[in-house]
A = this chain, B = another copy of it.
Amino acid sequence: MNLQLAKERFTQYLKSGNYRITPERFVILDSVMQTDGHFDADELFSQMKTGGQKVSRATVYNTLDLLQDCGLISKYRFGENHSRYEKAFGRPHHHHLICLECGDIIEFVSEKIEKVEREVCTSNSFKAQTTTLQIFGTCARCQKDE
Contact = CB atoms under 8 A, between A and B. Distances in A.
A117 interface: yes
Interface string A102-127: 00001010101100110011001111
A126 B121 contact: no
Q: A110, A121, A127, A130: which has the most chain B beta carbons within 10 Å?
A: A127
Copies of chain A in the complex:
2
B127 A136 contact: no
A2 interface: no
B126 A138 contact: yes
B136 A133 contact: no
A93 to B, nearest CB: 12
A17 to B, nearest CB: 17
A61 to B, nearest CB: 13
B136 A131 contact: yes
A40 to B, nearest CB: 15
Given A110-B120, A113-B133, A131-B136, 8 more contacts: A97-B124, A117-B135, A126-B140, A129-B137, A131-B135, A132-B132, A132-B133, A133-B133
